[in-house]
Amino acid sequence: MLLKELTELNGVSGNEDEVRNYIKEKALSLADEVKIDSIGNVIAYKKGKSSKKRVMLSAHMDEVGFMITGYGEGGTLKFRCVGGIDERILPGKRLIVGEKKLPGIIGCKPIHMQEREDRSNNIKLKSLYIDIGAEKKDEAEKLVPLGEYAVFQSEYMEMGEDVIKAKALDDRVGCAILLEALKGDYDFDLYACFTVQEEVGLRGSEVSSYAVKPDLAIVVEGTTCSDVPEVSEYDYSTLLGEGAALTIMDRTSYADKDLVNFLYNLGKEKGIKVQFKKTTTGGNDAGKIQRSRGGVKVASVSVPCRYIHSPVSVMSKRDYESVKALVLTALEEFNKNKQDLF
């Protein structure tokens, strides 16, 4: 399965090689041209029949992870987070470290060695380390160079009738849908942009949007889903199983109202489940694309994901299918020359 293969690849921000090589191989048979730009984005171009307009689809290849920053005398590794990760989830997590794919465990001082006041507080990142089984500092230095990356170790798993657990659903779900979109034929020029370094500042999308010069853009993402116990309903961001999530506004962008309304009404008309994201936190590649050149009309369509930015992110297969159907149906409608949207 495409999504299984994508989520089990490792691609921390700035080190997306595995994901990039996989996507490039898949895209070569689907697109008219596939380019890797200077920052590492994959831009797959599909020439339209008329080529009067340019539509950009964007999904980022990178995932959150870790970078090695030093060594302990006992052979442990010091590290920092790459991207936004909740420090509370880290103790005891399994990692894959570096090009050698060494197994590692995030460790900390045992609870029976902690002071009473420490036991009631969350463990800080500076108190954590990665244990790779090395016995001495010089052994660790030989195995793992400074600046090496580490990633959560997590296997794709299906749960119940409709749920998937995996790492990096943010945003391998988007990458999978873009590859599906490349299978279609369009009147307009389609640019499927698989971007890098989204988790550390939306960097790849800024570069790709200036290169593509789109008339309109849709960002396909995985987004937060907080419909869990002890969270009030009015604080829910999205609901698992309720379909594709449309963003109105977040920390980085304000989606084009006409495009968002078009997507919402299209979903309702075609029987595709669709919902609005009800929080304004976070951000995605739309923030940079919207402000490129003279400005671009942009919207974000997302798969709701519980426990995002963790090794056990959870999504609904029905939501994934809703996002895919909405994006592909929108592209079909653009073929009908929706001039009012461009």
Q: Which of 16, 63, 198, 221 is catalytic?
A: 198
Measured distance CA(267)–CA(261) in Å, rounded? 10
Separation in Å, CA 105 to CA 152, 275, 307, 310: 10, 38, 20, 15
198 annotated active-site: yes
Q: CA 262, 189, 294: angle at the middle one, nearest 5?
A: 70
- Greatest Cα pair distance in the chain: 71
Instruction: Name the one residue in this structure whose structure tokens are 């302990």.
Output: 72
Question: Counting beta carbons within 10 angstroms of the beta carbon of residue 320, is it exposed (0 to 12), middle (13 to 18) or buried (19 or more)?
Answer: buried
The DSSP line for 78-137 is EEEEES---GGG-TT-EEEETTTTEEEEEE---GGGS-HHHHTSPPPGGG-EEE-S-SSH
Q: Are 34 and 171 in contact (CB under 8 A)?
A: no
Query: Residues with catalytic annotation?
Result: 198
